[in-house]
């Protein structure tokens, strides 16, 4: 664990680097190799509880981003895959497993809210800026139905004979929505933007994602 003095020194040198022109801050998600800012964040977190929570979230989002090669669309693809896997676990439950069903519905809710937040705050606005408004509006409209399914499953008796029927419909919606993003909209958009814009979208999306952890 860092001492108070080490932390002060670390913070001071971080400020100095920032003053001396343009080195990355601890909040920079844009590339993977530099662990200095992350260690600085973790050292600060060891001293202050809030900082620890911030550092934990930073680390979680950073690891997910690295696993996807720091590419916004690959991060979203991995999230689609993980969500569909959770649906499959839920579909394999039976009517007696009400506690497990309730837990899995909550897990889906957290994952889908984070995912939608990243897309709605960064990716869809960027699509609209690039004149992809029709697709952005269509996708955001479908997110409304995602919330409706979540509301319904959350409030439905978990041993209802209709439960798995609705889960299956919900999974189909997510699968076709994800397919449209992955196979049509995102590859086309990515082909139109510069590497700089691409990196910016990844960095902004990671910042928004972190808020939802």
Q: By CB under 5 A, name the binding residues for Fe ion.
A: 76, 119, 139, 181
Query: Closer CB to Fe ion, residue 41 or residue 139?
Result: 139
- Distance between CA atoms of residues 4 and 198, nearest Å: 39
Shortest CB 169 distance to Fe ion, Å: 17
Contact 90, 104 (CB under 8 A): yes
Query: Closer CB to Fe ion, residue 62 or residue 143?
Result: 143
Shortest CB 103 distance to Fe ion, Å: 23
Query: Closer CB to Fe ion, residue 76 or residue 204?
Result: 76
Query: Closer CB to Fe ion, residue 28 or residue 142?
Result: 142
Residue 86: left if φ>0, alpha if ψ -120 to 50, beta else—which one? alpha
Query: Closer CB to Fe ion, residue 54 or residue 170?
Result: 170
Shortest CB 41 distance to Fe ion, Å: 28
Degrees to nearest 5, angle at CA 157 with 152 and 160? 100
Shortest CB 128 distance to Fe ion, Å: 14
Closest CA to 65 of 103, 38, 105, 25: 38
Burial 42-78 (b: 16+ CB within 10 A, else e): bbbbebeeebeebbebbbebbebbeebebebbbbbbe
Largest CA distance in the chain: 65
Shortest CB 60 distance to Fe ion, Å: 19
Shortest CB 181 distance to Fe ion, Å: 5
Tokens encoding 210: 């972190």
Query: Closer CB to Fe ion, residue 85 or residue 165?
Result: 85
């Amino acid at each position: 664990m860092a001492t108070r003095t080490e932390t002060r020194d670390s913070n001071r040198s971080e400020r100095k680097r920032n003053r001396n022109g343009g080195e990355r801050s601890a909040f920079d998600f844009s590339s993977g190799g530099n662990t200095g800012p992350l260690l600085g964040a973790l050292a600060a977190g060891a001293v202050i509880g809030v900082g620890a929570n911030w550092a934990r979230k930073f680390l979680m989002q950073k690891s997910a981003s690295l696993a996807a090669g720091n590419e916004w669309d690959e991060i979203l693809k991995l999230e689609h895959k993980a969500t569909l896997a959770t649906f499959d676990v839920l579909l394999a439950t039976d009517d007696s497993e009400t506690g497990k069903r309730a837990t899995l519905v909550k897990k889906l809710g957290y994952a889908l809210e984070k995912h939608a937040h990243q897309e709605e705050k960064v990716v869809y606005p960027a699509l609209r800026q690039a004149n992809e408004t029709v697709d952005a509006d269509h996708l955001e409209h479908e997110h409304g139905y995602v919330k409706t399914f979540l509301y319904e499953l959350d409030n439905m008796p978990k041993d209802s004979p209709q439960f798995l029927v609705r889960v299956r419909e919900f999974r189909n919606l997510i699968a076709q929505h994800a397919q449209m993003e992955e196979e049509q909209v995102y590859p086309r958009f990515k082909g139109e933007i510069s590497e700089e814009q691409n990196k910016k979208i990844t960095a902004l999306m990671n910042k928004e994602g972190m808020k939802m952890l």
